[in-house]
């Protein structure tokens, strides 16, 4: 099983105690159809020890290949897990049958022990979820996608300045770009350095959140009864992990919210933000069932949902640019032809920059920030192409497998923006990763339009002003990054080196002018 060793090994010591309190051999009603293919389980524990090692998305893809199936089934101590490894299958189930696939698994570790039930992305499908999502959608739907453009411009321009001053810290700068931006959008905070108390407080919280969201990391998600064992009990390391994580997460959500609330009361808010606007409009919003808790929760979701995922995509862009000088050259050629070097590219230039758009799409396909997508829970028994999928099953979108499908993306492991182009324009016949990455049905990510605008402007302005290439080693030979990524729910490149230099003194003057 792929959980960290210090949580996995000891936790198994308490399984015998918990198993007596769990009803095994659960039946899901009469059926005449087989489950989807998958490894044969052992008595009681099922496929607990068949769980693939990190990165688990690659393991699931190999397992699906072994059993010649797009729908993989595993049994985790009586809890069914279904992994979708084909985007067409995911569309059929999660969009066309969305009414029964829109729930979330219970997730005891994240929601109950770490206290993240405030986030509507973690909530079960229901009225509270609808209220929170409707509030989020009001500020981030496509018709108002440009309302935060001033904040995006500022954050990207600060990123360019930081890149020109210390290019070797480009990975840190990418993280700061998205962290400071989402704190500004959610709370109106003007974060000027990595030592800012609101920015620095979130790092440990985000890391814990990332670890806990990976299916199979903590046994308590399979045996929820384990949540009741005391911290001192052998195998209860996950309880100590959760306690520290909850403290960090609560602080990261509560402190900036309280700051905005107190600033409003003192009439000192000087920057617009989601939370400030909602609190000011609360008397009207309350008519739709919205209260302060909803505003606090959605504000936290804006930050936790957008900061790390977008940073991951930016880091993957730098990895691709470092490994593929030909892509940098072609992108800069397009930028020079369209912009002419007289200014920085903007959102209005996007229709004339199809190659830049193709680079963005290929970054998301090649290294998806969320390789396993988001998990769903099936609320009623379902059948699909002669297979039985039981109610209560946890459904995983193996997005990584979607994007490695050779029938859809030939030479899928290679970074090739050209795959999305035909006659110099975006080819509508090629499946768009921007449409596949952000989920399906009623659970599709409502912040996707904002995230894509951030990524486009960052890529366009970086390539317009900087050259990106491999560093040279002491022997004079290029240092080639190995391209390995972290195994968390939000996967990103492990630290690597890149040679980043301003394209010219004129490029530097463009940066300094913003």
Q: Got the DSSP string for 255-301?
A: HHHHHHHHHHHTT---S--HHHHHHHTHHHHGGGT--HHHHHHHHHH
Mean pLDDT of 441-468: 94
Q: How confident is residue 485, by pLDDT bands cut at 50, 70 and 90?
A: very high
Cα–Cα distance, 245 to 255 (Å, whole number)? 15
Say what the pLDDT of residue 228 is.
Answer: 93
Mean pLDDT of 120-147: 91
Residue closest to 355 by CA, chosen among 372, 335, 341, 375: 335
Weakest mean pLDDT among 20-24, 232-236, 253-257: 20-24
Percent composition of the chain: helix, strand, coil (DSSP 3-state, to 5) = 55, 10, 35
What CA–CA distance (Å, rounded) separates 417 from 421? 8
In tens, the pLDDT along 16-60 reads: 333 433 433 344 434 689 999 999 989 988 998 888 887 899 999
**Higher-confidence residue: 13 or 314?**
314
Where residue 422 falls (left for φ over 0; alpha for ψ -120 to 50; beta otherwise) is beta
Instruction: Tell me the β-bridge partners of 499.
Output: 469
Token pair 């900061």 is found at 307
Torsion sign, CA atoms 262, 265, 270, 275: positive
User: Per the omega criterion (within 30 degrees of 0), is the bond before 73 cis?
Assistant: no
CA 33-27-372 angle, to 5 degrees, is 75
d(CA 309, CA 305): 7
Q: What is the pLDDT of residues 265-300, one digit of tens each?
A: 988 876 889 999 999 999 999 999 999 999 999 999
Give the confidence band of 326 by pLDDT, cuts at 50, 70, 90: very high
Flag whether pLDDT at 12 surpasses 50.
no
- Concatenated DSSP letters of 438-452: T--GGGS-TTHHHHH
Helices (H) and strands (E) in the chain, counts: 20, 10
Provide CB contacts within 8 A for 383, sequence distance 6+.
33, 389
Closest CA to 76 of 291, 390, 513, 349: 390
Residue closest to 125 by CA, chosen among 107, 101, 108, 141: 101
Split at pLDDT 50, 70, 90, the class of 356 is very high
Contact 157, 514 (CB under 8 A): yes
pLDDT at position 322: 98
User: Residue 504 has what pLDDT?
Assistant: 94
Write down the residue that tokens 């593929």 correspond to.
324
Residue in 97, 133, 115 with CA at minimum distance from that of residue 383: 97
């Amino acid at each position: 099983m792929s959980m960290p060793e210090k949580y996995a090994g000891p936790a198994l010591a308490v399984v015998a105690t918990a198993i007596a309190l769990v009803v095994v051999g659960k039946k899901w009603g009469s059926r005449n159809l087989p489950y989807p293919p998958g490894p044969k389980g052992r008595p009681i524990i099922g496929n607990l020890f068949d769980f693939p090692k990190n990165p688990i998305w690659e393991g699931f893809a190999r397992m699906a290949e072994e059993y010649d199936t797009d729908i993989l089934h595993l049994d985790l101590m009586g809890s069914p897990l279904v992994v979708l490894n084909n985007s067409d299958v995911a569309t059929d189930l999660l969009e066309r049958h969305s009414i029964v696939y829109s729930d979330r698994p219970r997730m005891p570790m994240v929601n109950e022990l770490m206290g993240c039930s405030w986030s509507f992305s973690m909530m079960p499908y229901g009225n509270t979820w609808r209220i929170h999502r409707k509030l989020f959608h009001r500020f981030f739907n496509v018709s108002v996608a440009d309302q935060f453009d001033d904040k995006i411009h500022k954050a990207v321009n600060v990123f360019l300045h930081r890149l020109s001053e210390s290019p070797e810290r480009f990975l840190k700068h990418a993280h700061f770009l998205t962290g400071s931006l989402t704190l500004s959008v959610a709370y109106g905070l003007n974060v000027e350095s990595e030592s800012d108390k609101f920015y620095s407080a979130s790092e440990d919280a985000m890391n814990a959140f990332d670890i806990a969201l990976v299916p199979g990391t903590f046994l308590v998600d399979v045996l929820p009864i384990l949540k009741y064992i005391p911290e001192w009990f052998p195998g209860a390391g996950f309880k100590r992990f959760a306690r520290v994580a909850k403290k960090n997460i609560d602080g990261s959500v509560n402190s900036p919210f309280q700051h905005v609330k107190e600033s409003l009361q003192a009439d000192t808010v000087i920057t617009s933000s989601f939370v400030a606007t909602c609190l000011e409009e609360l008397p009207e919003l309350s008519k739709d069932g919205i209260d302060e808790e909803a505003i606090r929760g959605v504000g936290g979701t804006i930050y936790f949902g957008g900061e790390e995922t977008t940073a991951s995509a930016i880091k993957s862009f730098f990895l691709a640019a470092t490994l593929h000088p030909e892509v940098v050259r072609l992108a800069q050629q397009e930028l020079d032809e369209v912009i002419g070097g007289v200014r920085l590219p903007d959102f209005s230039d996007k229709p004339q920059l199809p190659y830049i758009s193709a680079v963005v799409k290929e970054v998301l396909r090649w290294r998806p920030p969320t390789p396993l997508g988001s998990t769903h829970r099936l609320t009623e028994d379902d059948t699909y192409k002669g297979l039985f999928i039981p109610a209560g099953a946890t459904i995983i979108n193996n997005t990584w497998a979607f994007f490695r499908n050779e029938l859809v993306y030939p030479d899928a492991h290679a970074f090739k923006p050209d795959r999305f182009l035909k006659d110099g324009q975006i080819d509508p016949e090629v499946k768009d990763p921007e449409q596949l990455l952000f989920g399906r049905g009623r659970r599709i990510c409502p912040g996707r339009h904002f995230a894509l605008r951030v990524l486009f402007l960052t890529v366009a302005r970086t390539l317009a002003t900087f050259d990106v290439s491999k560093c040279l080693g002491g022997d004079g030979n290029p240092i080639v990054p190995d391209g390995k990524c972290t195994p968390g729910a939000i996967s990103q490149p492990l630290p690597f080196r890149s040679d980043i230099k301003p394209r010219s003194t004129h490029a530097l003057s463009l940066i300094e002018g913003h």
